[in-house]
Protein backbone atom coordinates (compact mmCIF):
# COMPACT_ATOMS: atom_id res chain seq x y z
CA UNK A 1 0.00 0.00 0.00
CA UNK A 2 1.29 3.47 -0.88
CA UNK A 3 0.29 6.92 0.25
CA UNK A 4 0.66 10.37 -1.19
CA UNK A 5 2.09 13.22 0.82
CA UNK A 6 3.66 16.61 0.18
CA UNK A 7 6.84 18.25 1.44
CA UNK A 8 6.93 22.04 1.24
CA UNK A 9 10.05 24.17 1.55
CA UNK A 10 10.87 27.85 1.23
CA UNK A 11 13.33 28.48 -1.59
CA UNK A 12 16.37 30.75 -1.38
CA UNK A 13 17.18 31.29 -5.07
CA UNK A 14 19.81 33.53 -6.58
CA UNK A 15 18.87 36.57 -8.65
CA UNK A 16 19.25 34.63 -11.89
CA UNK A 17 17.21 31.71 -10.56
CA UNK A 18 14.51 34.06 -9.30
CA UNK A 19 14.19 35.60 -12.76
CA UNK A 20 13.97 32.14 -14.29
CA UNK A 21 11.25 31.13 -11.81
CA UNK A 22 9.25 34.24 -12.73
CA UNK A 23 9.71 33.43 -16.42
CA UNK A 24 8.34 29.91 -15.92
CA UNK A 25 5.37 31.19 -13.91
CA UNK A 26 4.56 33.67 -16.66
CA UNK A 27 4.83 30.92 -19.28
CA UNK A 28 2.37 28.77 -17.33
CA UNK A 29 -0.13 31.63 -17.15
CA UNK A 30 0.31 32.32 -20.86
CA UNK A 31 -0.23 28.66 -21.79
CA UNK A 32 -3.40 28.45 -19.69
CA UNK A 33 -4.86 31.57 -21.27
CA UNK A 34 -3.92 30.45 -24.76
CA UNK A 35 -5.49 27.01 -24.20
CA UNK A 36 -8.67 28.65 -22.97
CA UNK A 37 -8.62 30.91 -26.03
CA UNK A 38 -8.48 27.83 -28.26
CA UNK A 39 -11.64 26.53 -26.62
CA UNK A 40 -13.54 29.81 -26.84
CA UNK A 41 -12.56 30.31 -30.48
CA UNK A 42 -13.64 26.78 -31.37
CA UNK A 43 -16.97 27.23 -29.55
CA UNK A 44 -17.60 30.45 -31.50
CA UNK A 45 -16.84 28.73 -34.81
CA UNK A 46 -19.03 25.82 -33.84
CA UNK A 47 -22.09 28.09 -33.89
CA UNK A 48 -21.76 28.46 -37.66
CA UNK A 49 -20.17 25.05 -38.30
CA UNK A 50 -21.56 22.37 -35.94
CA UNK A 51 -18.95 19.84 -37.08
CA UNK A 52 -16.03 22.04 -35.99
CA UNK A 53 -13.97 20.17 -33.33
CA UNK A 54 -13.44 21.71 -29.89
CA UNK A 55 -10.25 20.83 -27.95
CA UNK A 56 -11.90 20.09 -24.61
CA UNK A 57 -9.81 17.41 -22.92
CA UNK A 58 -6.32 17.95 -21.57
CA UNK A 59 -4.79 15.70 -24.24
CA UNK A 60 -6.45 17.70 -27.01
CA UNK A 61 -5.29 20.95 -25.46
CA UNK A 62 -1.69 19.74 -25.15
CA UNK A 63 -1.68 18.60 -28.76
CA UNK A 64 -3.26 21.84 -29.98
CA UNK A 65 -0.84 24.05 -28.04
CA UNK A 66 2.26 22.09 -29.10
CA UNK A 67 1.18 22.41 -32.72
CA UNK A 68 0.32 26.10 -32.42
CA UNK A 69 3.53 27.22 -30.68
CA UNK A 70 5.58 26.28 -33.79
CA UNK A 71 3.35 28.00 -36.37
CA UNK A 72 3.29 31.55 -37.67
CA UNK A 73 0.14 32.22 -35.67
CA UNK A 74 2.26 32.16 -32.51
CA UNK A 75 4.65 34.80 -33.85
CA UNK A 76 7.54 35.47 -36.21
CA UNK A 77 10.93 37.10 -35.80
CA UNK A 78 12.33 38.97 -38.82
CA UNK A 79 15.86 40.04 -39.61
CA UNK A 80 16.53 42.92 -42.00
CA UNK A 81 19.83 43.10 -43.86
CA UNK A 82 21.62 46.23 -45.09
CA UNK A 83 19.66 46.17 -48.32
CA UNK A 84 16.36 46.34 -46.44
CA UNK A 85 15.31 42.80 -47.25
CA UNK A 86 13.40 41.11 -44.42
CA UNK A 87 13.81 37.44 -43.73
CA UNK A 88 11.97 35.23 -41.27
CA UNK A 89 14.43 34.10 -38.62
CA UNK A 90 12.18 32.30 -36.10
CA UNK A 91 8.65 30.96 -36.57
CA UNK A 92 6.46 30.42 -33.53
CA UNK A 93 7.11 31.40 -29.93
CA UNK A 94 10.61 32.82 -29.96
CA UNK A 95 11.07 32.28 -26.22
CA UNK A 96 9.71 28.73 -26.01
CA UNK A 97 13.20 27.33 -25.64
CA UNK A 98 13.90 29.43 -22.54
CA UNK A 99 11.42 27.53 -20.36
CA UNK A 100 10.70 23.88 -19.72
CA UNK A 101 8.17 22.39 -22.12
CA UNK A 102 6.47 20.63 -19.24
CA UNK A 103 5.24 24.00 -18.00
CA UNK A 104 3.15 24.41 -21.16
CA UNK A 105 1.76 20.89 -20.91
CA UNK A 106 0.84 21.15 -17.24
CA UNK A 107 -0.90 24.48 -17.83
CA UNK A 108 -2.95 22.87 -20.60
CA UNK A 109 -3.77 20.05 -18.19
CA UNK A 110 -5.05 22.60 -15.65
CA UNK A 111 -7.26 24.16 -18.30
CA UNK A 112 -8.63 20.73 -19.20
CA UNK A 113 -9.41 20.01 -15.56
CA UNK A 114 -11.24 23.32 -15.22
CA UNK A 115 -13.33 22.50 -18.28
CA UNK A 116 -14.05 19.00 -16.95
CA UNK A 117 -15.19 20.46 -13.63
CA UNK A 118 -17.48 22.83 -15.49
CA UNK A 119 -18.99 19.95 -17.50
CA UNK A 120 -19.46 17.79 -14.41
CA UNK A 121 -21.15 20.66 -12.61
CA UNK A 122 -23.57 21.16 -15.48
CA UNK A 123 -24.45 17.46 -15.63
CA UNK A 124 -24.72 17.01 -11.87
CA UNK A 125 -21.63 14.82 -11.47
CA UNK A 126 -19.76 17.45 -9.46
CA UNK A 127 -20.63 17.65 -5.76
CA UNK A 128 -20.65 20.99 -4.03
CA UNK A 129 -21.13 24.49 -5.30
CA UNK A 130 -21.71 25.05 -9.04
CA UNK A 131 -18.55 25.54 -11.07
CA UNK A 132 -18.54 28.25 -13.70
CA UNK A 133 -16.74 28.40 -17.02
CA UNK A 134 -12.97 29.00 -16.68
CA UNK A 135 -11.70 32.55 -16.88
CA UNK A 136 -8.47 34.04 -18.15
CA UNK A 137 -5.73 34.48 -15.57
CA UNK A 138 -4.77 38.09 -14.95
CA UNK A 139 -1.17 38.83 -14.08
CA UNK A 140 -2.05 41.15 -11.20
CA UNK A 141 -4.60 38.81 -9.59
CA UNK A 142 -3.07 35.38 -10.14
CA UNK A 143 -0.54 33.72 -7.87
CA UNK A 144 2.59 33.08 -9.97
CA UNK A 145 2.99 29.31 -10.04
CA UNK A 146 3.97 26.44 -12.31
CA UNK A 147 4.27 22.66 -12.13
CA UNK A 148 6.93 20.26 -13.44
CA UNK A 149 6.77 16.47 -13.57
CA UNK A 150 9.66 14.36 -12.35
CA UNK A 151 10.59 12.63 -15.58
CA UNK A 152 13.64 10.37 -15.42
CA UNK A 153 16.43 11.02 -17.89
CA UNK A 154 17.69 8.51 -20.43
CA UNK A 155 20.33 7.43 -17.95
CA UNK A 156 17.60 6.62 -15.41
CA UNK A 157 18.49 9.51 -13.12
CA UNK A 158 15.57 11.52 -11.78
CA UNK A 159 15.28 15.06 -13.08
CA UNK A 160 14.19 16.36 -9.66
CA UNK A 161 16.61 15.60 -6.83
CA UNK A 162 16.91 16.66 -3.20
CA UNK A 163 20.25 17.30 -1.52
CA UNK A 164 22.28 16.90 -4.70
CA UNK A 165 25.87 18.06 -5.35
CA UNK A 166 26.85 17.89 -1.68
CA UNK A 167 24.31 20.54 -0.60
CA UNK A 168 21.79 18.96 1.76
CA UNK A 169 19.43 21.91 1.79
CA UNK A 170 18.83 22.14 -1.93
CA UNK A 171 16.41 20.97 -4.60
CA UNK A 172 17.61 20.36 -8.15
CA UNK A 173 15.11 21.13 -10.92
CA UNK A 174 15.59 20.55 -14.66
CA UNK A 175 16.91 23.72 -16.26
CA UNK A 176 17.47 25.48 -12.94
CA UNK A 177 20.21 23.52 -11.27
CA UNK A 178 20.44 23.29 -7.51
CA UNK A 179 18.24 25.82 -5.69
CA UNK A 180 18.86 26.30 -1.99
CA UNK A 181 16.04 25.85 0.51
CA UNK A 182 15.72 27.24 4.03
CA UNK A 183 14.37 24.14 5.84
CA UNK A 184 16.00 20.82 6.63
CA UNK A 185 15.40 18.12 4.01
CA UNK A 186 16.77 15.19 6.01
CA UNK A 187 13.49 13.33 6.33
CA UNK A 188 12.73 13.42 2.60
CA UNK A 189 16.32 12.56 1.65
CA UNK A 190 16.24 9.46 3.85
CA UNK A 191 13.01 8.28 2.28
CA UNK A 192 14.39 8.81 -1.23
CA UNK A 193 17.70 7.11 -0.45
CA UNK A 194 16.04 4.00 1.02
CA UNK A 195 13.64 3.76 -1.92
CA UNK A 196 10.60 4.41 0.28
CA UNK A 197 9.49 7.48 -1.69
CA UNK A 198 9.32 8.71 -5.24
CA UNK A 199 8.80 12.32 -6.31
CA UNK A 200 5.90 12.62 -8.76
CA UNK A 201 5.95 16.34 -9.53
CA UNK A 202 6.86 19.67 -7.99
CA UNK A 203 4.83 22.87 -7.75
CA UNK A 204 6.57 26.22 -7.37
CA UNK A 205 4.56 29.25 -6.26
CA UNK A 206 5.34 32.83 -5.24
CA UNK A 207 3.58 33.91 -2.05
CA UNK A 208 4.31 36.66 0.48
CA UNK A 209 7.33 37.70 -1.57
CA UNK A 210 8.94 34.29 -1.31
CA UNK A 211 9.22 31.30 -3.61
CA UNK A 212 7.82 28.06 -2.18
CA UNK A 213 8.24 24.57 -3.58
CA UNK A 214 5.89 21.66 -2.88
CA UNK A 215 7.08 18.17 -3.74
CA UNK A 216 4.27 15.66 -4.15
CA UNK A 217 5.65 12.27 -3.15
CA UNK A 218 4.35 8.74 -3.51
CA UNK A 219 5.65 7.10 -0.34
CA UNK A 220 5.44 3.58 0.95
CA UNK A 221 3.15 2.71 3.80
CA UNK A 222 4.20 3.52 7.36
CA UNK A 223 6.19 0.96 9.26
CA UNK A 224 4.15 -1.70 10.99
CA UNK A 225 5.28 -0.38 14.37
CA UNK A 226 3.31 2.80 13.63
CA UNK A 227 0.12 0.89 12.77
CA UNK A 228 -2.69 0.16 15.17
CA UNK A 229 -3.13 -3.41 16.27
CA UNK A 230 -5.75 -5.21 14.18
CA UNK A 231 -8.94 -5.97 16.06
CA UNK A 232 -10.59 -9.35 16.25
CA UNK A 233 -13.37 -10.19 13.86
CA UNK A 234 -16.70 -9.07 15.26
CA UNK A 235 -15.20 -6.49 17.64
CA UNK A 236 -17.42 -3.44 17.17
CA UNK A 237 -16.27 -1.49 20.23
CA UNK A 238 -13.45 0.87 20.99
CA UNK A 239 -14.93 3.91 19.29
CA UNK A 240 -13.91 7.37 20.52
CA UNK A 241 -16.17 10.32 19.79
CA UNK A 242 -14.63 13.74 19.12
CA UNK A 243 -16.79 16.79 19.70
CA UNK A 244 -15.49 20.04 18.26
CA UNK A 245 -16.43 23.32 19.90
CA UNK A 246 -15.44 26.89 20.64
CA UNK A 247 -15.16 26.76 24.44
CA UNK A 248 -13.11 23.56 24.17
CA UNK A 249 -11.48 22.92 20.82
CA UNK A 250 -11.97 19.13 21.03
CA UNK A 251 -13.33 16.72 23.63
CA UNK A 252 -12.81 12.98 23.13
CA UNK A 253 -14.69 10.32 25.11
CA UNK A 254 -15.43 6.60 24.99
CA UNK A 255 -18.86 5.03 24.76
CA UNK A 256 -18.75 4.18 28.47
CA UNK A 257 -18.47 7.86 29.36
CA UNK A 258 -14.72 8.00 30.02
CA UNK A 259 -13.15 11.22 28.82
CA UNK A 260 -9.84 10.41 27.13
CA UNK A 261 -8.77 13.84 25.90
CA UNK A 262 -9.77 17.48 26.24
CA UNK A 263 -8.03 20.26 24.34
CA UNK A 264 -9.17 23.57 25.80
CA UNK A 265 -6.50 26.02 24.77
CA UNK A 266 -6.70 26.65 21.05
CA UNK A 267 -4.28 29.34 19.84
CA UNK A 268 -6.94 31.35 17.96
CA UNK A 269 -4.34 33.29 15.97
CA UNK A 270 -6.88 35.43 14.12
CA UNK A 271 -8.29 36.89 17.33
CA UNK A 272 -4.82 37.31 18.82
CA UNK A 273 -3.52 39.24 15.82
CA UNK A 274 -6.67 41.14 14.95
CA UNK A 275 -5.34 44.50 16.15
CA UNK A 276 -2.21 44.14 14.04
CA UNK A 277 -4.30 43.03 11.06
CA UNK A 278 -6.44 46.14 11.33
CA UNK A 279 -3.40 48.40 11.44
CA UNK A 280 -1.84 46.71 8.43
CA UNK A 281 -5.12 46.82 6.47
CA UNK A 282 -5.51 50.51 7.27
CA UNK A 283 -1.94 51.09 6.11
CA UNK A 284 -2.73 49.41 2.78
CA UNK A 285 -5.84 51.54 2.26
CA UNK A 286 -3.86 54.74 2.84
CA UNK A 287 -1.25 53.98 0.17
CA UNK A 288 -1.66 54.89 -3.47
CA UNK A 289 -2.38 51.90 -5.66
CA UNK A 290 0.52 50.91 -7.87
CA UNK A 291 3.13 52.67 -5.75
CA UNK A 292 6.10 50.99 -4.12
CA UNK A 293 4.80 51.79 -0.65
CA UNK A 294 1.49 50.14 -1.50
CA UNK A 295 3.29 46.97 -2.58
CA UNK A 296 5.27 46.90 0.65
CA UNK A 297 2.11 47.37 2.74
CA UNK A 298 0.34 44.59 0.85
CA UNK A 299 3.33 42.30 1.42
CA UNK A 300 3.29 43.00 5.17
CA UNK A 301 -0.43 42.21 5.38
CA UNK A 302 0.09 39.01 3.36
CA UNK A 303 2.88 37.89 5.70
CA UNK A 304 0.57 38.44 8.67
CA UNK A 305 -2.17 36.29 7.12
CA UNK A 306 0.43 33.66 6.23
CA UNK A 307 1.63 33.52 9.84
CA UNK A 308 -1.94 33.20 11.15
CA UNK A 309 -2.65 30.32 8.78
CA UNK A 310 0.59 28.55 9.75
CA UNK A 311 -0.18 28.77 13.48
CA UNK A 312 -3.67 27.35 12.97
CA UNK A 313 -2.41 24.57 10.69
CA UNK A 314 0.42 23.60 13.05
CA UNK A 315 -1.96 23.32 16.00
CA UNK A 316 -4.42 21.20 13.99
CA UNK A 317 -1.60 18.83 12.99
CA UNK A 318 -0.48 18.46 16.61
CA UNK A 319 -3.95 17.62 17.91
CA UNK A 320 -4.71 15.28 15.01
CA UNK A 321 -1.44 13.40 15.53
CA UNK A 322 -2.15 13.05 19.24
CA UNK A 323 -5.60 11.55 18.67
CA UNK A 324 -4.63 9.33 15.75
CA UNK A 325 -1.62 7.78 17.47
CA UNK A 326 -3.56 6.87 20.63
CA UNK A 327 -6.95 5.72 19.23
CA UNK A 328 -7.65 3.43 16.29
CA UNK A 329 -11.37 4.21 15.91
CA UNK A 330 -12.64 7.77 15.83
CA UNK A 331 -16.06 9.31 15.24
CA UNK A 332 -16.54 12.92 14.15
CA UNK A 333 -19.72 14.75 13.30
CA UNK A 334 -20.51 16.10 9.86
CA UNK A 335 -20.57 19.81 10.60
CA UNK A 336 -21.96 22.21 8.00
CA UNK A 337 -19.21 24.75 8.57
CA UNK A 338 -20.11 26.84 5.52
CA UNK A 339 -23.65 27.23 6.83
CA UNK A 340 -22.43 28.09 10.33
CA UNK A 341 -20.43 30.97 8.93
CA UNK A 342 -23.74 32.67 8.18
CA UNK A 343 -24.01 33.49 11.89
CA UNK A 344 -22.39 36.89 12.07
CA UNK A 345 -21.78 36.56 15.81
CA UNK A 346 -19.85 33.29 15.57
CA UNK A 347 -18.43 33.36 12.04
CA UNK A 348 -15.06 34.80 13.08
CA UNK A 349 -14.62 32.37 15.97
CA UNK A 350 -15.60 29.37 13.84
CA UNK A 351 -13.19 30.36 11.09
CA UNK A 352 -10.40 30.84 13.62
CA UNK A 353 -10.47 27.25 14.93
CA UNK A 354 -10.48 25.51 11.54
CA UNK A 355 -12.96 22.69 12.15
CA UNK A 356 -13.12 21.50 8.55
CA UNK A 357 -9.35 21.31 8.11
CA UNK A 358 -8.99 19.46 11.41
CA UNK A 359 -11.48 16.79 10.30
CA UNK A 360 -9.66 16.41 6.98
CA UNK A 361 -6.37 15.80 8.80
CA UNK A 362 -7.96 13.17 11.03
CA UNK A 363 -9.26 11.19 8.06
CA UNK A 364 -6.05 10.78 6.10
CA UNK A 365 -3.75 10.47 9.12
CA UNK A 366 -5.90 7.70 10.58
CA UNK A 367 -5.83 5.90 7.22
CA UNK A 368 -2.01 6.02 7.28
CA UNK A 369 -1.98 4.32 10.69
CA UNK A 370 -4.48 1.64 9.68
CA UNK A 371 -7.34 3.01 11.76
CA UNK A 372 -10.90 4.00 10.94
CA UNK A 373 -12.82 7.27 11.04
CA UNK A 374 -16.61 7.31 10.96
CA UNK A 375 -18.58 10.46 10.20
CA UNK A 376 -21.84 10.83 12.12
CA UNK A 377 -24.91 12.09 10.33
CA UNK A 378 -25.28 15.86 10.16
CA UNK A 379 -28.74 15.70 11.74
CA UNK A 380 -27.68 13.48 14.63
CA UNK A 381 -28.51 15.45 17.83
CA UNK A 382 -25.30 14.66 19.67
CA UNK A 383 -25.61 17.65 22.02
CA UNK A 384 -29.34 17.29 22.78
CA UNK A 385 -29.34 13.52 23.27
CA UNK A 386 -28.83 11.98 26.69
CA UNK A 387 -25.96 9.53 26.53
CA UNK A 388 -27.52 7.47 29.35
CA UNK A 389 -31.22 7.06 28.50
CA UNK A 390 -31.26 8.33 24.91
CA UNK A 391 -33.99 10.96 25.38
CA UNK A 392 -33.75 14.37 23.69
CA UNK A 393 -33.62 17.70 25.45
CA UNK A 394 -35.22 19.97 22.85
CA UNK A 395 -34.91 23.01 25.11
CA UNK A 396 -31.13 22.89 25.22
CA UNK A 397 -29.80 26.26 24.07
CA UNK A 398 -26.36 27.18 22.82
CA UNK A 399 -25.66 29.08 26.03
CA UNK A 400 -26.33 26.00 28.18
CA UNK A 401 -22.94 24.51 28.90
CA UNK A 402 -24.28 21.76 31.20
CA UNK A 403 -26.58 19.04 29.90
CA UNK A 404 -29.38 18.08 32.29
CA UNK A 405 -31.77 15.18 31.64
CA UNK A 406 -34.99 14.17 33.33
CA UNK A 407 -33.47 10.80 34.24
CA UNK A 408 -31.10 12.55 36.61
CA UNK A 409 -28.05 12.52 34.30
CA UNK A 410 -25.98 15.69 34.44
CA UNK A 411 -22.74 16.28 32.55
CA UNK A 412 -20.73 18.80 30.61
CA UNK A 413 -22.34 19.60 27.27
CA UNK A 414 -19.25 18.79 25.18
CA UNK A 415 -18.56 15.61 27.15
CA UNK A 416 -22.11 14.37 26.60
CA UNK A 417 -21.85 15.09 22.87
CA UNK A 418 -18.55 13.19 22.63
CA UNK A 419 -20.07 10.13 24.34
CA UNK A 420 -23.05 10.21 21.96
CA UNK A 421 -20.68 10.35 19.00
CA UNK A 422 -18.83 7.33 20.36
CA UNK A 423 -22.18 5.51 20.47
CA UNK A 424 -23.01 6.46 16.88
CA UNK A 425 -21.74 3.23 15.20
CA UNK A 426 -24.06 1.17 17.43
CA UNK A 427 -27.17 3.37 17.11
CA UNK A 428 -26.70 4.36 13.48
CA UNK A 429 -29.31 1.88 12.27
CA UNK A 430 -31.86 3.13 14.81
CA UNK A 431 -31.39 6.79 13.90
CA UNK A 432 -33.89 8.05 11.33
CA UNK A 433 -32.68 11.08 9.46
CA UNK A 434 -36.09 11.86 7.98
CA UNK A 435 -38.95 11.90 10.51
CA UNK A 436 -41.32 12.67 7.61
CA UNK A 437 -40.73 10.03 4.90
CA UNK A 438 -43.35 11.54 2.64
CA UNK A 439 -41.68 14.94 2.66
CA UNK A 440 -38.21 13.46 2.32
CA UNK A 441 -36.77 15.66 5.03
CA UNK A 442 -37.26 17.09 8.47
CA UNK A 443 -40.55 18.72 9.44
CA UNK A 444 -40.18 22.47 9.63
CA UNK A 445 -42.49 25.40 10.14
CA UNK A 446 -41.27 27.19 7.02
CA UNK A 447 -44.08 28.55 4.88
CA UNK A 448 -44.16 27.18 1.36
CA UNK A 449 -46.15 27.62 -1.77
CA UNK A 450 -48.95 25.31 -2.81
CA UNK A 451 -47.54 22.89 -5.28
CA UNK A 452 -46.21 19.47 -6.04
CA UNK A 453 -47.08 16.45 -3.91
CA UNK A 454 -49.26 18.47 -1.54
CA UNK A 455 -52.99 19.05 -1.52
CA UNK A 456 -53.96 22.71 -0.96
CA UNK A 457 -55.43 23.22 2.46
CA UNK A 458 -57.74 25.89 3.71
CA UNK A 459 -56.97 28.57 6.22
CA UNK A 460 -56.70 27.12 9.69
CA UNK A 461 -56.95 23.49 8.54
CA UNK A 462 -54.84 20.85 10.29
CA UNK A 463 -52.66 18.33 8.48
CA UNK A 464 -51.63 15.10 10.24
CA UNK A 465 -47.96 14.47 9.56
CA UNK A 466 -46.64 11.78 11.86
CA UNK A 467 -47.94 9.84 14.86
CA UNK A 468 -50.23 12.50 16.16
CA UNK A 469 -47.97 15.43 15.26
CA UNK A 470 -50.06 18.36 14.08
CA UNK A 471 -48.96 21.22 11.84
CA UNK A 472 -51.31 24.14 11.29
CA UNK A 473 -50.94 25.40 7.74
CA UNK A 474 -51.90 28.93 6.86
CA UNK A 475 -52.19 30.06 3.27
CA UNK A 476 -50.54 33.33 2.36
CA UNK A 477 -52.00 35.31 -0.48
Tens digit of each residue's pLDDT (9 = 90 or more) over 291-318: 999 999 999 999 999 999 999 999 999 9
Question: Mean pLDDT across the stretch 202-227?
Answer: 92
- Domains of the chain plus CATH, in order, are 2-220 (no CATH), 232-427 (3.30.420), 443-477 (no CATH)
Region 15-24 average pLDDT: 94
DSSP secondary structure string for all residues of 308-360? HHHHHHHHHHHHHHHHHHH-SEEEEE---HHHHTT-TTTHHHHHHHTHHHHHH
Taking the C-alpha atoms of residue 181 and residue 204, their distance in angstroms, rounded to an integer, is 12
Question: Are residues 131 and 84 in contact, defined by beta-carbon separation less than 8 angstroms?
Answer: no
**The pLDDT value given to residue 224:** 87
pLDDT at 88: 67
Alpha carbon distance 6, 201 (integer Å): 10
* pLDDT of amino acid 405: 87
Cα-flanking dihedrals φ and ψ of residue 114, to 5°?
A: -65, -40
Active site residues: 243, 333, 414
- Mean pLDDT of the residues in the chain: 85
Average pLDDT over residues 406-420: 90
How many percent of the chain have pLDDT more than 90? 54
Give the pLDDT confidence score for residue 252 in this predicted structure.
Answer: 93
Amino acid sequence: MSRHTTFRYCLDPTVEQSDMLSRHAGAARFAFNQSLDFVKTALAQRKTSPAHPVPWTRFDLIKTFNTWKKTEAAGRVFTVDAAGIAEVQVTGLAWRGQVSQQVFEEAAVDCGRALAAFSDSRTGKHAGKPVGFPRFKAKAKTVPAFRIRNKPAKTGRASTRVGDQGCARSVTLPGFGAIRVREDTRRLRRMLTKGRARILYVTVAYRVRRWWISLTVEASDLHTSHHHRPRNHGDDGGWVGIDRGLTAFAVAANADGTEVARINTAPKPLAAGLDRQRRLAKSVSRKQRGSHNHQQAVAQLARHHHRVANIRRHFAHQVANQLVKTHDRLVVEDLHVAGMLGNRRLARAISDVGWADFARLLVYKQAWHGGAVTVADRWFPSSKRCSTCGSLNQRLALTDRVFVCGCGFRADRDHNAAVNLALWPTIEQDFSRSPDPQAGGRVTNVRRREGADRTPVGIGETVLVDAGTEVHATLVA
